[in-house]
Structure formats: C-alpha cells, structure tokens
Structure 1
C-alpha cells in the first residue's frame, strides 16, 4: 500500500483541515489542550491511548504548528505541549463540535459536560454562521466560491 498523498495542492479548506486535525486522537488532544493539559502523561491518562499513537499525533500537531514544545514550567525535565496562536484558532472548531454533540448525541436530561463562561458561570451561547446583518444563516443561504 502506498503512503497517503498529502493534500498540499487540495483547493478545499475543509479537506486540508481534516488532513491535519481530522482524526479522533488529534481532536481529543486539542480538546484536552484547551482544558489546560500540557504533559504527555496527562494526555495519555485522559485519553487512554497507546503511547506510540499519542506520540505520533503530538508530533504531527507540532509539525503542523498547532502545538509547540516547551520546557516544563515547573523546572522538571519534562516537556510540555502548548497551543500556538494557530492552535488557539481551532477553539471555535472544538466548540462547534461540542455544541453539535450536545444537541445531537445526548438524550434530554442525559448527563454530559458543558462549556461555560468563567466570569458568569453560564453556558456559552450556541455558535452559528451569521450574515453581515447578524441574522443566522442556513446552509441553503450559502455557496462555495472557488478562488484563484
């Protein structure tokens, strides 16, 4: 079997994005990073993933510029994985997946986690695409335009 082709020439932003962050473990690593997790052992305990898979996904996220490694903040010999500005830009993606899951994958009253605003303790508002005037956009009200 030949190696999977990189999508560097792919004109679709969704395809390129999925190529970088579209597998289960990468998205769950990002979720944990947004929750403040930084160390390999903490990611492994949280995810229950094999060390070699975790190591591979962390390496790929670092190579993609989504995470960077730093010396541990407590002065130990460990290294930490920290979100870059590029990685922090994925926050709306993770929030959108979370909110879709809350609405579509849980029965009414079923126990689940929710994302809250620290200053108010309230759940964050549902994210949705908006028109220039602030009105919510339905899929039928949009189209993809190919750019050169």
Structure 2
C-alpha cells in the first residue's frame, strides 16, 4: 500500500470544485460574466466588446441561463424585433467575489506596466475592494499556506477498483 496525501483516501466524484469548473471552467465564461457585471447585457454588445465568437457566446449564455446564473429579460428597441438581454440572478451575483479574486490575481501577475485596466471600489466609501480569505470566526488569513483542507460532511471513501 502506497502512502501519499490524506486526500487520496477520499473520492473526488462529488467534488464541488469539479462540478463548478464544469460550468465555469471554459475560457470565455468569466469574460461573459465580466461583461454582465459591468452592465454590458445585450448579445451584440457583449460580442462586440469582448470579441467572443458568436456561437461560443451563444453557447456560454445558454449554459449560464440553464444553470440559473443569468436570466433572460426581453426588451425591444423602437422599430426592432423583440430580443433578450442577460441579467444576473442571485446565484450569479454570488460569483462576484470569484471575479474579484481572479482580477486580483491577474492584476498582480499579468497587468500591463501602467497597472490594471479596471479597479473595484466600495460604492459607499470609494476604497479599493480586494478578495480576502477569512475564517468563520472572522480572522483574516493573509497567507494561503495557513489554510488546510479537511474531510467534509459529504466526503465518500475512495473505492479502489479491482482492475487497478
């Protein structure tokens, strides 16, 4: 029997990270969400502003609607046919901290020498907003190495198949 990380004893079949990435992990998904968070809600505007291929955008929007992250809302400009724009649901708004965390990481490692193209600020006081780790008792965790994983209530033992 080989030794290794304790995580090897637990199945990854019901991993919520894997399930989340099945929805959000495609390259364009957070670009679409970035646009909607920034108030760009109409298909043609999203496509034009982000340069996402039409079919890819159509597929991403359909998935985000299917997963109840976005909802379609009809609108009609005068003299035009009825169309839809895309609005965040509560489930979608809950992704905002993830978008901020991705932006923080990108700002730190990938920004142009002049700095990031967008900053997040607190509407009430105008101070910058950043993602932080905090425990349930309210302690700020400044070093990711100070966080450890533990077995959760939904963990299932890893079953080794007879074949291998």
TM-score by length of 1: 0.82
Distance 1:95 1:70 in 2: 25
CA shift in 2, pair 1:14/1:111, >3 Å: closer
| Alignment partner, residue 133 of structure 2 | 129
Matches within 5 A, 1:80-119: 80-106=85-111, 109-110=114-115, 112-119=117-124
Asked whether the 8 Å contact 1:128–1:136 carries over to 2, the reply is yes
Map of 1:65 onto structure 2: 68
Q: Identify the match of residue 151 of structure 2 among 123, 145, 148.
A: 145
Tell me the matched-pair count.
139
- Evaluate the alpha carbon distance shift between residue 110 and residue 51 of structure 1 in structure 2; reply closer, same or farther with a 3 A threshold: same
Quick check: 113-122 or 53-62, which moved more? Answer: 113-122
| 1:74 CA drift (Å) | 5.8
Q: Is the 8 A contact 1:10 1:16 kept in 2?
A: no
Provide the C-alpha distance between the structure 1 equivalents of 2:125 and 2:140, rounded to a whole number of angstroms.
Answer: 25
- CA deviation string 1:96-131 (max 9, x = no partner): 10111111223654453211223433321x322113
Aligned to 2:57: 54
Partner SS for 2:131: coil
Residue 35, structure 1, aligned to residue 41, structure 2: no
Q: Which runs of 5+ in 2 are unaligned?
A: 1-11, 155-164
TM-score (norm 2): 0.74
Q: How far off is 1:134 after superposition? A: 1.7
- Tell me which structure has the larger Cα radius of gyration: 2
Q: Relative contact order (C-alpha < 8 Å, sep 6+): which is higher? A: 2
Q: Once superposed, what is the RMSD of the aligned Cα atoms?
A: 2.2
Q: 1:109 and 1:96 mapped to 2: Cα distance?
A: 20
